[in-house]
Every structure is written in C-alpha cells, then in structure tokens.
C-alpha cells in the first residue's frame, strides 16, 4: 500500500468501561508508532471528550482552544416577558419556572431545556429566542509522538457525539494533509452516543478488556456496536494473568464469534507507575512484561491494517 495515494486508515481502541488500561495502550501505541513510522507520522484522537486523559500522557505542546458551538437553547428576555404563563405548559421538559431573581418574569433552566423551540412559538410577546451555546473547546496539539486532537465538553452539556465527530473530521483532514497512514482514536468508554460517533467510518476496532464476567459482558456490548457499523474487531485482554478462568472464557467467546484475540497483556505494576509519571509504559519501562506484550499487540494491529513500517 502506498501511503502517498491512499486515505489514512482509522483504528479505534475501545473498552466497555473506563479503567481497563485502554489509554495506557493508546499512549504506548502513540510512542511505538512514532518510533516505527517516522516518515508517515500517525495522527491521534482522544475521543473521550467528557474526561480526556490521553493528552495527560502525550504532553501536548500547544493547547490553544478552539470553540465548539453545539445546539441552541431557549432564553427569555426579562424586558419583554409579561409573565402571562403561556410558555410553561407547552414545555415537555419542565424547564420553565418563575425567575428565582425576579418572580415577575419566567426563566428557563438551561440544564433541563432540550432546545425543541416549542415555547418560542407559544410566547405572544416574542420574549423567547433560541441562542446557540458554546458547549466546549477542542484542541490540536503537537506531541513528541505526533499530532493529537482532543477536546473538553463543558459540564452538563450533551453534544458529546457532535464534538467527537468534529475532532475526528479535523484529525482526518490533517492526516490527509501530511499523508499520514493512520488515525489512532482512543475511544470513549461505554457504548453511548460519543462511542457511536467515534466508531463510525473506522477500519478496525481493537477492544481492550479484562478477564472478568463484567469484562466479557462489556466486550459483547462493544462488539455489538462495532458490528453495527460493519467495523472488523479484534480483542486483547489486559491483566490476563490475574484471573485465568476469565481469560479462558474470553478466548472461547472470541473463537466462537470468529474474532482474533491478538494479545494477552500480563498484570504489571509498571503500567500504573508509568501513568503516574505521565509517560507511556513503553517509554519508561520498555523491558517490562507489559511493554513487550503491548508491542506484540501493536505489531499485529499494524499488520492487520496493512500499514508500512519504515
């Protein structure tokens, strides 16, 4: 495959919940990618816009924020409101109350408002308007391993899926500009709206799971999401040796589902130590058992995506 003439592949790394070691593996992938594919640098996305943490490990150089404007919410102009009460009954989200600062006018709770605009049409005074919301910021940051796209959604905001889509688009455009081979996406935990946005259009999903009943359950849920988008999936088990029965159950499940188990990473206290130090484990402890196992997973993933090493 020539990286010069083809679109960058998209790899998404997922887990059903937080704390499985997904970000540790993503950070190590960033380091290994930089070490092995220097002439085709990879591009990274932290798609966990509610609690981004890949940026903590990759030490971004520039954090100049760009504003993310999401949907619109209703706001009442207290100068125009005559407190007629026509708006409150039409709101199916119980978002309209007497203003706590002035009970002579109505007020809209921005957390409860869904932005349906029904109240705008109900108001005889034209006192209600829809106002676009600054819901978060996104960043394009240089790291020693490549460009990282990440974001923060403000608390209480709900457009995490849109924000994930935005930073993925920006990352893909940048990847095209620099003729990168691959965009590596550290996916959000769970299977909600941001995960769906993060999965769409990707070429391969690497599911990181743990050897437990909950790990198997989460694996099934994430696999279902990837299959919905026709994204091929592979799995790796983190802390595989702490509960061999659990790892065996995951092996059997993967075989029955026809998905490759491409790595079993042993429990290694070097992983949390590296996270505390804010570095990929492959940088700080390259000879540790976890770093070596992650390296194998990375090589297999690299091969599955048909990427070129320098």
User: Does 203 help bind ligand SF4 (rule: CB under 6 A)?
Assistant: no
Site for ligand SF4 in 255-294 (CB under 6 A): none
Near ligand SF4 by CB under 6 A: residue from 3, 34, 35, 83: 83
93 HSE (CA, 13 A, CB side): 16
- Build a one-symbol-per-residue string for 23-62: x at contacts with ligand SF4 by CB under 6 A, - elsewhere: ----------------------------------------
- Pick one of 52, 58, 87, 153: the residue that binds ligand SF4 (CB under 6 A): 87
Select the residue interacting with ligand SF4 from 34, 117, 200, 304 (CB under 6 A).
117
**For ligand SF4, which residue of 13, 14, 25, 76 counts as binding (CB under 6 A)?**
76
Query: Nearer Cβ to ligand SF4, position 96 or 235?
Result: 96
Binding-site size, ligand SF4 (CB under 6 A):
28
| Measured distance CA(48)–CA(213) in Å, rounded | 24
263: phi then psi, degrees, rounded to nearest 5 = 180, 150
Using alpha carbons only, what angle is made at residue 110 by residues 105 and 116, rounded to the nearest 5 degrees? 95
C-beta of 84 vs 213, nearer to ligand SF4:
84
Q: Give the binding site for ligand SF4 (CB under 6 A).
A: 74, 76, 81-87, 90-91, 93, 95-96, 106, 108, 113-119, 122-123, 125, 127-128
């Amino acid at each position: 495959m020539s990286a010069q003439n083809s679109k960058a592949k998209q790899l998404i790394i997922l887990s059903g919940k937080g704390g499985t070691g997904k970000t540790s593996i993503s950070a190590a992938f960033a380091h290994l990618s930089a070490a092995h594919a220097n002439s085709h640098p990879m591009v990274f996305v932290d798609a966990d816009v509610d609690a981004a943490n890949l940026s903590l490990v990759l030490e971004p150089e520039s954090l100049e924020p760009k504003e993310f404007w999401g949907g619109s919410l209703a706001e009442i102009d207290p100068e125009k409101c005559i407190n007629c009460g026509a708006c409150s009954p039409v709101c199916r989200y119980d978002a309209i109350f007497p203003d706590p600062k002035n009970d002579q006018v109505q007020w809209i709770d921005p957390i409860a408002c869904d932005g349906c605009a029904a109240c705008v049409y109900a108001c005889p005074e034209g006192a209600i308007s829809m106002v676009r919301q600054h819901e978060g910021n996104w960043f394009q940051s240089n790291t020693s391993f490549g460009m990282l796209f990440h974001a923060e959604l403000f608390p209480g905001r709900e457009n995490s899926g849109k924000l994930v889509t935005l930073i993925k688009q920006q990352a893909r455009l940048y990847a095209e500009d620099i003729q990168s081979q691959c965009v590596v996406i550290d996916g959000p935990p769970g299977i909600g709206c941001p995960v769906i946005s993060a999965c769409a259009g990707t070429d391969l999903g690497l599911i990181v799971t743990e050897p437990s009943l909950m790990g198997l359950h989460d694996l099934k849920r994430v696999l279902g999401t990837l299959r919905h988008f026709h994204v091929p999936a592979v799995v790796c088990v983190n802390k595989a040796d702490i509960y061999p029965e659990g790892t065996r159950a995951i092996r059997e499940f993967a075989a029955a589902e026809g998905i490759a188990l491409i790595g079993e990473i042993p429990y290694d206290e070097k992983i949390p130590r590296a996270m505390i130090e804010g570095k990929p484990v492959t940088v700080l402890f390259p000879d540790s058992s976890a770093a070596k196992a992650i390296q194998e997973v990375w090589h297999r993933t690299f091969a599955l995506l048909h990427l070129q090493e320098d």
